[in-house]
Chain A
Amino acid sequence: MLDKKAQFDVARKTIYWMLAGIMITIVVFAFAMIIGSYKGSLTKVPANLKSELISLRFANAPECFAYQDNTSKVVFPGIIDLKKFNENTLKECYSTAGIGGIKVFNFRLKLQQQGTEIFTDKYYHLDQGDLTIYKEVLVKDGDNLEKDQLAIYVQERIGEK
C-alpha cells in the first residue's frame, strides 16, 4: 500500500500530465499551423498575375475575341471581332461551370466605348477593383475599325478577399 505522501505524488503527477497533455496538443497544432502558413507564403502566386495570364486570351486568341481573317486565317491579336463578342463565345473560350466555378476566377468584360458587356458563367458582380485589367484594343465592326478599351473585371473566388 502507498502511504499518504506517495498517493499525493501520484495524484499530483496525474493532474500535471493531464494539463501537460492539453498544452502539448495545443503547441503541436500551433506548430502545424505556423508551418502550413509559412508553406502557403512560399507557394503563393499573386492573384493579379494569374488573372492577367488567363485574360491574355480574350484579346489575342481566335477562339476568344481576336479577329481572324477568313481567307488567310491570319489572327490579329489586339483586334476584337465584335461579331464574336458575346457570351456563347466566352463560354467556349473560358468556362468554369464544370467544377462549380465559384472557387476560381470569373470575369466581366466590357468594351468601354461600345458599352457591350459580357460575363463568364459564374460571375456574381464581386469583382475586385485592384484586379481590374484594362487593355487598349481595336474593335472590328464589319468594315469599321475603332479604337476602344477592354475592361476586364476580375472576380476571384467567392468568400475571399
Chain B
Amino acid sequence: MNKKAVGTLMMLFEVLAVLAVAYITITVGQVYGSSDTVFKINTAEEVRMMIDTLAGIPGDAIVKFPYNVSGYIFILEPGAINIFKDGEKQSSGKWVTRRFFLPLNYGVEGTLKDSDYFCLEKERLQKQVKIRLMSC
C-alpha cells in the first residue's frame, strides 16, 4: 500500500466517523428530547390527576381536557392510562403509561382515537362508580 492510498483511506474513515457521530448525536437528541414524548407524559400525568380528583369528590362529574389531542390514542384500563400514536407498538417503548389507584368499587373504561378533545365522566351507579373516557 502506498502513502497516498493510506492517506485517502484515513481521510475517508475520518469523514465517516464524523458523519456517524453527528447521526448518533441527532438520533439520541430526538429519542430523548422529542416534544411528542413530553406531551404524552404531561397528558398522562394530567389524566391521572383528573381521575384522582374525580375519585375525591362525592357526586357525579364531567371534566373536559383543555388541549387538542388529535393524533394520539388513549386507552383507559383498570389502574392505568396509556397514550401513544397510531402505529407505535407497546414493545417499542413509545407508549406512555401512568398508573393510579382507585377504590375497589370503581370501574374505568374508554378508548379514544381520531378525536380533538376528550372528557372524563364520573357516574355513580347502583353499587359501582364508573369513570369513562370519551370524545367531547
Contacts and interface: CB of A to CB of B under 8 A. Distances in A.
B10 A45 contact: no
A9 B2 CA distance: 13
Interface of B, helix, strand, loop or mixed by DSSP: helix
A2 interface: yes
A13 B10 CA distance: 8
Contact of B58 (A31, A55, A61): A61
Size class of the contact patch on chain A:
35 or more
A61 B28 contact: no
A99 interface: yes
Interface stretch (B34-42, B66-74, B112-120): B34-42
Size class of the contact patch on chain B:
35 or more
A31 B33 CA distance: 11
Contact of B33 (A6, A39, A49, A98): A39
A20 B2 CA distance: 26
A3 B3 contact: yes
Interface in B9-66: 10, 13-14, 17, 21, 24-25, 28-29, 32-33, 37-38, 41-42, 45, 49, 52-53, 55-59
